[in-house]
Structure 1
Amino acid sequence: MKIIEQHLTEIEPTWQEFTLVNDNQTEVSFLNYGGIITEIKTPDQDGNVENIVLGFEDYRDYTANPAFFGAIIGRVAGRIPNASLPINNQTYQLSANEGINHLHGGPNGFHSVLWEAESFRTDHSVGVTLTHRSPDNDGGYPGTLDVDVTYELDNQNRFTITYHAKTDKTTPLALTNHSYFNLSGNGKHTVENHSITMPSKRFAELDSNFIPTGNILDAAGTPFDFTNGRHIKGSIESDHPQNKIVGSGYDHYFLFVNRVKPDVKVCEPESGRTLTVTTDEPGMVMYTSNNLDENLKLKSGTSRNYMGLCLETQRHPATLSHSNFPPILLTPEKEYRSRTTFTFDTED
């Protein structure tokens, strides 16, 4: 196993790209800018090694990155309506970056931070720990926040992201990674033929602005029931109002209750690739790139709808308005800890 480090001197200040390589031809590449995962290469069932995440052809395009490709999202993943943050009878005004709403930490969120990076090796893995101090009132958020995110790859083809943070004032925190997976390899096909299995039986209803209404809906008998496996294509074509409201697909928070591991399994039949996601988070936003910006120049070609599948394991900001969601407030006497593992394999 090894770590390859590249300095991107054409960008000021200079970015670093790290590539974690195991002994099974699995590679994970990412930047210290935004913690952005630029490539994940894995073999298919015939041994062909290809990239299975979306990323820009030109690194400089990550400075805008309207789709948040591959990035660490924070302080809060998701939409905060009216960019207004209520905490303990006090309201903080955040930076708006989606109309009047605050999305994925705002315009200067963690996706645009140049993180400090330190690589490490163990007997069983290679990795890099990214660290950042977010000052009090950063983007409108209260409290100085010290956060570290560790990317680690082992020889069982497990890529683990571990999050840890501390604050000196009560502040909301809901971190995630925003990679767009496409197991067909090098973006040969859309993700419509991917099948997904997960044990979630409930999901959050959205309004026309993609903001949770506060209602938690039963997934049984709907296109939101993945307990026995379901292809994305059939759900995209469904007439369910919650599929329609987000542009024919998914951009919904699925809650994990009485879950069994693995939490989520994704399969792509042509390549034979599988992706298993295991997490200690209470839920996951699944986004099928139904509203992906068109004509972005990606390594796999020009972007279009349904090119990638986001599996954003996280807590959700809806709890700021609705008490029936898992809490996200971090207080000074506690530490934030979270772990999600992505395991890459092929069907037998």
Structure 2
Amino acid sequence: MNHDDNEEETTMTDTSTLTRSLRACGSATVLAAALAAGPALAANNNDSGDSAQSPHLAVTESDFDKTPQGKQIERYHLTNRNGMSVDIITFGARVQAIHMPDKNGKVADIALGFNNVKDYIDHKSTYFGATIGRYGNRIANGKFKLDGKTYHLPKNNGPNTLHGGTEGFDQKVWAASPIDTGNTVGVELTHFSPDGTMGFPGNLAVTVRYTLDNDNDLRIHYSAVSDKDTVINLTNHTYFNLAGAGSGTVLDQVAMINADQFTPINDTLIPTGKLESVSGTPLDFTTPKPIGQDIHADNQQLKYAEPKQGGYDFNWVLNSDGDLHKLAVRVTDPKSGRTVEMYTSEPGVQFYTSNFLDGSFKGTNGKTLGHWGGFTLEAQHYPDSPNQPNFPSTELKAGQKYTQTTVYKFLPE
């Protein structure tokens, strides 16, 4: 991972973008707070950096598809000198594809996705590649209390609210513009979520920046500001299969999760509120092991996550302490040599093994996407934090800035 990061790029809100969104809705209170918050990110669009110093970095824009209502969806194609490319689409501000060479130079798409908007809508419960919000993961019983008031959310996962409700950020069309700093290329996406959307309080302006460099770092920087106290927990829901999307299961791929503890769940996948050690359990990935090594173990937690065959769908409490220079997760495909490493400012990661993909549909390359056909690394605060006083807070005060940065580094370079 590149350790020469400008701290502003990883911690500060792109204030100009947020204030544009808020100005459009006339939210003067938050606008004033955002303007007072400080300078924008260093990596501004159309930066004057010398692209000749970073050969083959490029970002191109093209039409992807249209929504059923006729709204145009754009695709941004990011490339670097190593033969790696990333496609971002404005529907759901999502990763549509990641093409990556293996140790022999053979390129494959290692992210699960679709070639059209209809499939993303028809199979929206997969959340392939999407930006998740307002609240990633589950909120128990579709409600939480904030400032003495109880807020009710639509339930879309049994008795609970999942990934922002019935129509989260994954189903929205985001505004977008390209980024080219000379050392990185990418896309900035923005969305305005009105007060009361899916039951959440506050007019919320959100910016997500994807950038790619020649070190194969795909950086996702999130920022947001609200004009009311609210809760927020943004994440990305890309499914990886390092052997290539549709190339069978990920059970032979080897994972290391830098976490000594996890948040155990009940039968509706809501945390109990405790932190438990992974030691002696199938959830212990402190030493690298194949994902499938213990997935069939006789363990109640695995059965909660996937009642029929067992599976992973848990929040691990990371040891990396929000330090972007400390490795949080590493997964390797021994056959291809492809590896993804995750670094994040977030305290947790949801490692999910696509337990509910059933092989009933196909992805971008026409291959079937089956059970255990991918894994997610969702950097996040813990599930149900608004209802769990002992968990790190997900409350965002009016006028304050929310920021989060997660980096996926891909090998071989």
TM-score range, shorter chain: over 0.9
- Superposed CA RMSD in Å reads 1.5
Q: Secondary structure at the match of 2:275?
A: strand
Q: Is the 8 A contact 1:185 1:271 kept in 2?
A: no
1:272-283 maps to which residues of 2 (within 5 A)? 272-283=337-348
**2:315 is matched with which residue?**
253
Q: Secondary structure at the match of 1:201?
A: strand
Note the C-alpha offset of 1:256: 1.4
Q: Secondary structure at the match of 1:305?
A: coil
Structure 1: runs of 5 or more not aligned: none
1:344 aligns with 2:403: no
Deviations 1:201-233 (A, max 9, x none): 000111111111112111112211111112111
Give the one of 144, 154, 161 matched to 1:85: 144
Give the one of 339, 346, 353 matched to 1:288: 353
Q: Is the 8 A contact 1:57 1:297 kept in 2?
A: no
**1:305 is matched with which residue?**
371
Note the C-alpha offset of 1:10: 4.9
**1:63 is matched with which residue?**
121
Structure 2: runs of 5 or more not aligned: 1-56
Distance in 1, Cα, partners of 2:64 & 2:112: 19
Q: Is the 8 A contact 2:359 2:369 kept in 1?
A: yes
Q: Is the 8 A contact 2:246 2:368 kept in 1?
A: no
Give the letter aligned to residue 318 of structure 2: F
- Flag the 1:293–1:98 CA change in 2: closer, same or farther, 3 A: farther
1:192 aligns with 2:260: no
Distance in 2, Cα, partners of 1:186 & 1:211: 30
Distance in 2, Cα, partners of 1:299 & 1:175: 25
1:176 aligns with 2:257: no
Aligned length: 347
**1:208 is matched with which residue?**
267
- Percent pairwise identity: 38
Deviations 1:40-92 (A, max 9, x none): 00100000011001112443211232210000000000111221121122111
Deviations 1:12-57 (A, max 9, x none): 2111011111111110001111012110001000000110011124
Q: Is the 8 A contact 2:158 2:268 kept in 1?
A: no
Note the C-alpha offset of 1:293: 4.3
- Flag the 1:121–1:193 CA change in 2: closer, same or farther, 3 A: same
Distance in 1, Cα, partners of 2:65 & 2:256: 42
**1:329 is matched with which residue?**
395
Distance in 2, Cα, partners of 1:184 & 1:7: 28
Q: Secondary structure at the match of 2:63?
A: strand
**1:21 is matched with which residue?**
79
1:121 aligns with 2:180: yes
Distance in 1, Cα, partners of 2:177 & 2:66: 22
Deviates more, 1:250-259 or 1:308-317: 250-259
TM-score (norm 1): 0.96
Distance in 2, Cα, partners of 1:5 & 1:90: 44
Note the C-alpha offset of 1:290: 1.2
Distance in 2, Cα, partners of 1:303 & 1:258: 32
- Flag the 1:83–1:316 CA change in 2: closer, same or farther, 3 A: same
Give the one of 90, 109, 112 matched to 2:171: 112
Deviates more, 1:213-222 or 1:52-61: 52-61
Deviates more, 1:1-10 or 1:142-151: 1-10
Distance in 2, Cα, partners of 1:62 & 1:249: 24
- Flag the 1:120–1:261 CA change in 2: closer, same or farther, 3 A: same
Note the C-alpha offset of 1:318: 2.2
Q: Secondary structure at the match of 2:125?
A: coil
Q: Is the 8 A contact 1:67 1:293 kept in 2?
A: no
Distance in 2, Cα, partners of 1:48 & 1:202: 37
Q: Secondary structure at the match of 2:376?
A: strand
**1:4 is matched with which residue?**
60
Q: Secondary structure at the match of 1:255?
A: strand
The structure where helix makes up a greater share of residues is 2
Note the C-alpha offset of 1:188: 1.5
